[in-house]
Structure 1
Amino acid sequence: MNSKIPAYLTEKNNVIRLILFTAAFALLFINIFKPFGSRDWYKISDLKFFVFASLIVLVGMLVVVISRLIMLAYIRKNAINYWQYGLWVLAEILSMSMFYALFTKFIPEENAGRDFVEIFNDSAFHASLILLLPYAILWLYFSWREKNHMLEKLSQEEQPVEVHKKNLIAFLDEKGELKISIALENLLYVDSADNYATIHYLNKSKLSHFLIRNSLKWMEENMTTDRPLVRCHRSYIVNLDKVKVLRKTKDGIYLELDAMNTPDIPVSKTYYERVMNKFSKYSV
């Protein structure tokens, strides 16, 4: 009970929704159920009774309006716990009950002889229905909407991480420092010589390359998982998404890339099986 109420209960827009919805509910309630014996107060038409009842509801709803304005001012510097919120709602019910009881006692002449305590108890019962039912309905609605909003936010936050992980390749040097990041769709292949690797990629549709100090073995172990990258030779890692032809000749197997001025990439016997397994996976 000492925990704070959800923030959506005190958001300005939700407070406005609560006031409007409660007013509409109260208007329907008093015209449909005609509490306090109100329909017998005056011998007037249904239309005039509707207008008269609406004015009573609007005046009674001033209790909620004033209460919620005070609450908005209060929460700027203070938090509200569940028990405090419960007492606040109870105060609204009692205040509205007192207004309706006084009105019922002294305005219609037919009620002049009724006991005030009886009138107040009747008013408290109907005021509870007028406020608690719409409050409960809106609480459930706000809670449902907040959970949906959180789920949408989580899905939106997770999506960029997944896209970054799969589609943007970060190349680190042997010290672990980022040297270049290349979109997967632009990466062609990587070849190595000694302790250096050359990254071949497309930059604005032009063939480009970047030299980095790192081993092909490290790249194979850390960059090819869940990506269409595969080591096909002791000196090459290739992007299978860029392979347009796998050609088998008497001299061996070669991969032709879908880019001009790129050499055919050889596939050695050592890496043949893993290339074929991954090629079948990413060529579907």
Structure 2
Amino acid sequence: MKNILKYHPSYNKKWGLTILTGLFLFFVLYFYEGFGIEQGLSFSGHNLFIRALIFGLFTSLSFYIHEFLLSKFLVPKNNIQNVFWALLEIFMGANVTFLLFNYFWNWTEWFWNAYFLLLGEYSSVMLIPVIMVWLWGKTQRKIEAAHHMLTFKSENGKHQLKLKEENLLFIKSEDNYVEIHYLSNHKVKHELLRNTLKRIQEQNPTFHYLIKCHRSYLVNYQNIQQTQLAKSRMLLDLGHDLFIPVSPKYIESITKLTDQ
């Protein structure tokens, strides 16, 4: 059985780029009248507001296609690829804008000098919202990472262990100590702290996936691979050759969780 809970990625960055780039371009063209844009009617008969609005909408559409459609086939995997991806988005948006620009002015600007001029101006404008979204996303990732960290402390507070939620496997009671088993670089490790299972749960009250399955065990049920039930005995398979016993009184509640 696969992990019970699956990670659902956030689309905040994608929507941020899609919306902010178009809005920013509209603001620069209409309110700031950037790049000496003509304020009167274009050859196509569109006024400044309509042209700025269409430029903004088509820029948002271009970024939407990249972020939500093309990203399914081309996924940036490192910082260099992310930079290349951002430059490609800006380049494609500039080309769409160049075509619109010539449509509004009856293709009178259909030559290389005008193309490279618009490419430079458009890129200088788009770098601002792209960098803003990147910085915002970086901040959000740090906040999210902090929220998804578990902290385990000894009774006297002198020793502590911090783990990502998904790396915690189970915690076993050993007399006056608890043995915390977790993954580090895909290897199972454990840490011994002087504490009790009850206090361990109290230290991380918002982590609802740490459940009791036995008087001596707490298990992160996100990492249950499968359950093994024979007669009145149940074992939880966490992978890595780890099998955790389930007391009879917890079998029903564990079964309900793993069936979700």
Give the TM-score normalised by the residue count of structure 1.
0.45
Q: Which has the higher contact order (CA 8 A, sep 6+)?
A: 2
Higher helix share: 1
The alignment's TM-score, normalised by the length of structure 2, stands at 0.49
